[in-house]
């Protein structure tokens, strides 16, 4: 688990996350932990389940060098189908073309519980879709053929075994 990031096909990544009902110090602490992992991994976004926490919370890069949190997000509208190259912190080293939408309208809460709606285009729309997929229990590989997904699954299992063996050797 590089930088505390869960590697797919871990079950937490394939399970829909739970809605956040309580806003306060516990959510703030989760967001801080997620941000540390995100910055260490140099990603464009991160979902809570990527650090093993099944909560409907994510960070999204705004495209201008900063991030904002999204809590209990949902996509309200989407338009203009596109195919984009995509990778994931939980699927290291893998990049594939994925069908997405160029424009999305999203409704979400911030850490205080206030609701927001935002229409996003291009890169921001892409990151919203990717992170919300995570919160719905899907990695981008679920949008590919079963054959491609199975090939990547095998690679990720080998990677996880190698990391576990390296960790065991480090303890000896």
What are the tokens at 84?
């984009």
> Of 110, 1, 128, which Cα lies nearest the Cα of 52?
1
- What CA–CA distance (Å, rounded) separates 121 from 141? 22
Identify the pLDDT of residue 1: 45
Point out which residues pair with 107 in neighbouring strands. 74, 117
Q: What is the pLDDT of residues 73-90, one digit of tens each?
A: 999 999 999 999 999 999
| The pLDDT of residue 2 is above 90 | no
Active site residue 131: yes
Q: What is the pLDDT of residues 6-40, one digit of tens each?
A: 999 999 999 999 999 999 999 999 999 999 999 99
Q: What is the pLDDT of residues 135-171, one digit of tens each?
A: 999 999 999 999 999 999 999 999 888 888 888 887 7
Choosing from 69, 86, 94, 131, the catalytic residue is 131
Helices (H), the chain: 25-41, 122-135, 146-171
Fill in the DSSP letter of residue 55. Answer: B
* Sheet containing 67-88, strands listed edge to edge, beginning at the edge strand earlier in sequence: 45-47, 57-61, 67-88, 91-109, 115-121
Point out which residues pair with 55 in neighbouring strands. 18
Q: What is the pTM of this model?
A: 0.91
């Amino acid at each position: 688990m590089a930088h505390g990031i869960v590697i797919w096909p871990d079950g937490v990544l394939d399970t829909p996350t739970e809605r956040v009902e309580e806003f306060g110090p516990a959510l703030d602490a989760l967001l801080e932990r997620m941000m540390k992992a995100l910055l260490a991994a140099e990603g464009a976004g991160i979902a809570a389940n990527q650090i093993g926490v099944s909560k409907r919370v994510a960070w999204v890069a705004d495209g201008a060098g900063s991030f904002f949190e999204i809590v209990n997000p949902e996509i309200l509208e989407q338009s203009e189908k596109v195919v984009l190259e995509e990778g994931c912190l939980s699927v290291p080293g893998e990049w594939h073309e994925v069908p997405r939408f160029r424009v999305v309208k999203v409704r979400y809460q911030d850490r205080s519980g206030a609701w927001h709606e935002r229409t996003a285009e291009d890169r921001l729309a892409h990151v919203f879709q990717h992170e919300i997929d995570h919160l719905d229990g899907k990695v981008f590989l679920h949008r590919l053929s079963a054959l491609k997904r199975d090939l990547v699954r095998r690679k990720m299992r080998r990677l996880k075994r190698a990391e576990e063996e390296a960790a065991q050797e480090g303890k000896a």
